[in-house]
Amino acid sequence: MSEIKKGVQILDCTLRDGGYYTNWDFDKQLVQAYLNACNKLPIDWIEIGYRSPAKESYLGQYFYLPEYLIRDTKSRTTKKIALILNEKDIDPQTVRALLGDCIGHVDMIRMAVNPIRMDQAIELAKRVKEMGFLVAFNVMYMSTWDQIEGFYEKLSQLNGLIDYFYLVDSYGGVYPAEVTKAVEKVRSKLDVSIGFHGHNNLELGLINTLTAIEAGADVVDATFTGMGRGAGNLKTELLLTSLSSRHGLSVDFNALGNVVGAFERLQKEYGWGTNLPYMVSGANSLPQKEVMEWVTKRFYSVNSIIQALNNQSEGIEDNLKLSLFNSKKHYKTALIVGGGDSVKQHEEAILHWVKKQDELCIIHASSKNANTFIELSKDQFFCLVGNEGHRLENQVHGSFGFVTQCVLPPYPRKMGTYIPATLEKKSAELKEITFTNRVKDSHTVLALQTALELQAQSIYVIGYDGYSGDAVSQNEIELSTENEALFFEFVKVGTQLSSLTPTRYKGLKPDSVYSRI
Amino acid sequence: MSEIKKGVQILDCTLRDGGYYTNWDFDKQLVQAYLNACNKLPIDWIEIGYRSPAKESYLGQYFYLPEYLIRDTKSRTTKKIALILNEKDIDPQTVRALLGDCIGHVDMIRMAVNPIRMDQAIELAKRVKEMGFLVAFNVMYMSTWDQIEGFYEKLSQLNGLIDYFYLVDSYGGVYPAEVTKAVEKVRSKLDVSIGFHGHNNLELGLINTLTAIEAGADVVDATFTGMGRGAGNLKTELLLTSLSSRHGLSVDFNALGNVVGAFERLQKEYGWGTNLPYMVSGANSLPQKEVMEWVTKRFYSVNSIIQALNNQSEGIEDNLKLSLFNSKKHYKTALIVGGGDSVKQHEEAILHWVKKQDELCIIHASSKNANTFIELSKDQFFCLVGNEGHRLENQVHGSFGFVTQCVLPPYPRKMGTYIPATLEKKSAELKEITFTNRVKDSHTVLALQTALELQAQSIYVIGYDGYSGDAVSQNEIELSTENEALFFEFVKVGTQLSSLTPTRYKGLKPDSVYSRI
């Protein structure tokens, strides 16, 4: 690290890349703290978000960057401003309309470019360049470039067209020696400034970036606390601290401490940063988009994610094709059991009620309350998603006698399939989910579909307590929103759902187990 | 990374190094999960703790490793067992007594060696070697070895005496190129197996370890989730994932996921891992022991720690010698204001009571409730520790008219001194803390000493609510224990402390502001 080139530029893209966690909305105060700190720090560029045509889902202000927001930001920063486009989303015909009001406010337009779409990206770049912006290509998936025929040869077409060519380690799985080789290869074809954008799955963000600088990169990206999709990026504070101690870069550590503190508070809520699933996806060049979804929303255990990643890396979509769930027996009443604490609280009444019902089956959406029903001689179905088989084993300590059948999501199952060995013969998969397209592998969707398959005329629910307003994580809110939507969709095509225990879900008809015994 | 040597050994030292956070006590279940996972993973050694002569403070079972614990662990692991000694704590005369009962159960004794104590370490090693153990030197502070005269020359004395020589990057500030050089230098003097123990302050744990292996290291250390003093170590899961994808090491990711999940739950409580203060201490070769104390217990902001670290790295113990606090005015009554919510809750009554008192002064231990008193024409003292000056600024938005004086800890202040500019002339430092040796720079100790200096005959306290049993962090418990001890010590030499708002502190006499208005 002895010869870091003088004058290397630093681009902070916290707002752009951090938006993956906040859906591109940020507190005004946080943004002000961010801009204040950047003004005091040796950062050359801030990339503040995307410009994009309208998308179908809600995305916040830093995804669309309305003109007033760009103007306002520009008035509060002393830094040069960049924004980024997803090349694949942009019709070159529309780019003048899309970027017209950025002229004079934005210094550089970066383009996120898939390396197999270089021709299209070149067309788009021409239009953007004509508008007078500096143009950067952020070319993704650098670990795959050697496998793309003619990739390096095509680079010479970029001379005179773009101003910056970024190497993006999208998977976060590239090692320093490979960074050196790639920078040298790009440099041999291309006479523009070179940039590096490193992800941190394997905690190689710093060393890869320092290596890129040593190999000749002119500009490098980072984000405060590493905030960014999945495992996140090189941390701006780590880069600055390293350059400060090794190369005498002058850093205002008070300003740095302030902004890091502000983003750390947000990190407690959203929890970005690397972990075992991100490490495995990085090490094996698997997309972290899905991993992020699994980790943050679906509560899959590290184990089941690892299993799914292993399946993907071996090209296996699933490891087990099961027979189709097809119960010849039907039931008058189905009781769906969720994982809420109310089941234990009202256990005695629930058991009284269950015993009195003829033709009742129990469908365990979650195994969490399984042992309440272990002594019961009713037919019992267990919904196994992801790691649920392990949880079932732990709950009942291998006493599977009371399990009638295990029900799994339709094939193929991305998350892999874990079934306790002694239950394999009792397991079947659903043919399809008929009442919704929303999700195929949640506990709730499985339980409701199972109730449909069993042709239950009355369906009761217990243990779906819902979350109170306080101290609920973003993940819990999303799961609860999803369950709520499933209940509404189900009731439209199926039968009413009554909750016999207290619930906050509005899609469940309030009822009480005590009124029925 | 193309030629990782076959047969490199992995030593996991989670229990030993993680003990810095748990005081070397671990749940039985966690240890069982740990041993189970290790049995299924390509780990060669587990280092399970220290052996040590008795210390004055409480340290748990993995710090002393009683024989029954070693035997029990050995019966549950298929791995080779190591333990470590702090060389500086051990009299060679006593080592036979200290380690006698380990013979037959422990395979290797490691010694944590300060590089300036190599002669003493050699004496100790001879005794340990005579007992039949494998002997390893874990030589600390590798970034300083070049500055220690004759360090490398002395290494040849170790040939034939020790079995492993570890390079320890104690500060976590060494870069890969330096690792290569150091391994080569050691190798040129010494014909024993070489080990590497990397810390993760700069997130260089993985790359430094892979570099050490490439340079010829035979054994490398890691801990699950990086658990270990301060910023922690190379993560075992990261090393295994990397070696699995790059070098075909066979890894049971289910076992790995299980143990990582177990330690992640503990990490939520204790919060190890790198952060800006650890980065700065690593980058500047400053000891992280103090940083850890500041971060985990004293609640100092990143800022004030950074300031203190900067001071230390420039050899400045403090940046400001203030005049001594010496109030000519004395008061009949002092009201000490803590940061608890009860102040806002009972604000109206408190203000009624305060206005009725003659010769009363207010001592703000924390600035959190400052603006409750901003309109009040009583003398008001503010205790400024670490970052409190910033907090005061934020609370009162620069309206400092009501501040009589700021009181700072005795000189020198390790944490640096931040005083809002307009308050500099109103600031003074205490000469000494007279009623305790426990701590010199906590909010509570400052406030109590200030009350003594002002010769208050009655002292009332508000806003010291204490923490309830639920959902309290280890840090809050420690702070609350410390405050409690301070109250008891103070009452012995000073006057009674009555709390006018609800409190959980037993050292405060319960009273009520409502009984007094």
Mind listing the pLDDT tens digit for each residue in B331-349?
999 999 999 999 999 999 9
Mutate to test the interface with B, among A2, A306, A391 (most CBs of B within 10 A): A306
B264 to A254: CB separation less than 8 angstroms, yes or no: no
Average predicted confidence (pLDDT) for chain B: 90
Please give the share of chain A, as a percent, with pLDDT higher than 70: 91
Q: Is A254 on the interface with B (CB under 8 A)?
A: yes
Q: Which of A202, A257, A280 sits opposite B206 (nearest CB)?
A: A202
Q: Is B201 on the interface with A (CB under 8 A)?
A: no
B32 vs B40: CA distance, rounded Å: 13
Q: What is the pLDDT of residue B474?
A: 57
Cα distance from B53 to chain A (closest Cα, Å)?
38
Question: Stretch A372-380: mean pLDDT, rounded?
Answer: 94
Q: What six digits make up the tokens of B377?
A: 């024409």
Mutate to test the interface with B, among A303, A305, A394, A473 (most CBs of B within 10 A): A303
Please say whether the beta carbons of A229 and A292 come within 8 A. yes
Residues 318-347 of B with CB under 8 A from A: none
B436 vs B439: CA distance, rounded Å: 7
Predicted model pTM: 0.71
Please say whether the beta carbons of B237 and B255 come within 8 A. no
A156 vs B158: CA distance, rounded Å: 57
Is the pLDDT assigned to residue A5 strictly greater than 60?
no
B17: amino acid identity, one letter: D
Q: What is the pLDDT of residue A342?
A: 93
- Between B307 and A430, the more confident residue is A430
Q: Is B246 on the interface with A (CB under 8 A)?
A: yes
B256 to A205: CB separation less than 8 angstroms, yes or no: no
pLDDT digits (tens, 9 = 90+) for A269-315: 888 999 888 898 888 787 777 776 666 555 565 556 666 666 666 66
Average predicted confidence (pLDDT) for chain A: 90
Q: What is the pLDDT of residue B317?
A: 58
Q: What is the pLDDT of residue B1?
A: 35
Look at strands B427-429 and B458-462 and give their pairing.
unpaired
Question: Stretch A391-416: mean pLDDT, rounded?
Answer: 84
Is the pLDDT assigned to residue B471 strictly greater than 70?
no
Q: Is B177 on the interface with A (CB under 8 A)?
A: yes
Is the pLDDT assigned to residue B254 strictly greater than 90?
no
pLDDT digits (tens, 9 = 90+) for B476-485: 777 788 899 9
Q: What is the pLDDT of residue A415?
A: 66
Q: What is the pLDDT of residue A283?
A: 86
What is the number of CB-based contacts under 8 A between chain A and chain B? 122
Listed range (A248-257, A364-373, A429-438, B430-439) with the worst mean pLDDT? A248-257
Q: Which of A244, A280, A306 sits opposite B254 (nearest CB)?
A: A306
Beta bridge partners of A12: A46, A222
A334 vs B358: CA distance, rounded Å: 73
ipTM above 0.90, yes or no: no
Q: Is A231 on the interface with B (CB under 8 A)?
A: no
Please give the share of chain B, as a percent, with pLDDT higher than 70: 91
Listed range (A32-36, A344-348, B139-143, B307-311) with the worst mean pLDDT? B307-311
pLDDT digits (tens, 9 = 90+) for A196-222: 999 999 999 999 999 999 999 999 999
Q: Is B261 on the interface with A (CB under 8 A)?
A: yes
Cα first-last separation, chain B: 76
Of B52, B482, B94, whose CA–CA distance to B298 is shortest?
B482
A202 to B238: CB separation less than 8 angstroms, yes or no: yes
Question: Stretch A179-206: mean pLDDT, rounded?
Answer: 97
The Cβ of residue A484 has, within 10 Å, a number of other Cβ atoms equal to 17
Coil/strand/helix, residue B426: helix
Q: Is B173 on the interface with A (CB under 8 A)?
A: yes
A372 vs A395: CA distance, rounded Å: 10
Question: Stretch A304-331: mean pLDDT, rounded?
Answer: 74
* Residue A2 pLDDT level (bands cut at 50, 70, 90): very low
Listed range (A130-144, A319-333, A362-376) with the worst mean pLDDT? A319-333
B253 to A206: CB separation less than 8 angstroms, yes or no: no
Q: What is the pLDDT of residue A3?
A: 46
Q: What is the pLDDT of residue B448?
A: 97
Cα first-last separation, chain A: 76
Is the pLDDT assigned to residue B55 strictly greater than 50?
yes
C-alpha torsion A181→A182→A186→A188, nearest 10: 10
Of A136, A149, A152, whose CA–CA distance to A187 is shortest?
A152
A242 to B202: CB separation less than 8 angstroms, yes or no: yes
Listed range (A99-103, B320-324, B471-475) with the worst mean pLDDT? B471-475
Q: What six digits make up the tokens of B330?
A: 């004395």
Listed range (A245-249, A301-305, A398-402, B230-234) with the worst mean pLDDT? A301-305
Q: What is the pLDDT of residue B277?
A: 84
Question: Stretch A423-434: mean pLDDT, rounded?
Answer: 93
Listed range (A144-148, A164-168, B180-184) with the worst mean pLDDT? A144-148
Q: Is A244 on the interface with B (CB under 8 A)?
A: yes
Q: Is A256 on the interface with B (CB under 8 A)?
A: yes
- Between B315 and A163, the more confident residue is A163
Q: What is the pLDDT of residue B310?
A: 66
Question: Stretch A120-143: mean pLDDT, rounded?
Answer: 97
Question: Stretch B474-503: mean pLDDT, rounded?
Answer: 86
Q: What is the pLDDT of residue A480?
A: 84
Q: What is the pLDDT of residue A284?
A: 78
Is the pLDDT assigned to residue B455 strictly greater than 50?
yes
Listed range (A181-190, B25-34, B288-297, B436-445) with the worst mean pLDDT? B288-297
Coil/strand/helix, residue B109: strand
B426 vs B428: CA distance, rounded Å: 7
pLDDT digits (tens, 9 = 90+) for A339-358: 999 999 999 999 999 999 99
B203 to A202: CB separation less than 8 angstroms, yes or no: no
Is the pLDDT assigned to residue B316 strictly greater than 70?
no
Q: Which of A177, A210, A307 sits opposite B1 (nearest CB)?
A: A177
The 3 state secondary structure assigned to B367-436 is CCCHHHHCCCCCEEEEECCCCHHHHHHHHHCCCCCCCCEEEECCCCCCCCCCCCHHHHHHEEECCCCCCC
Q: What is the pLDDT of residue A37?
A: 95
pLDDT digits (tens, 9 = 90+) for A461-476: 999 998 765 545 556 6
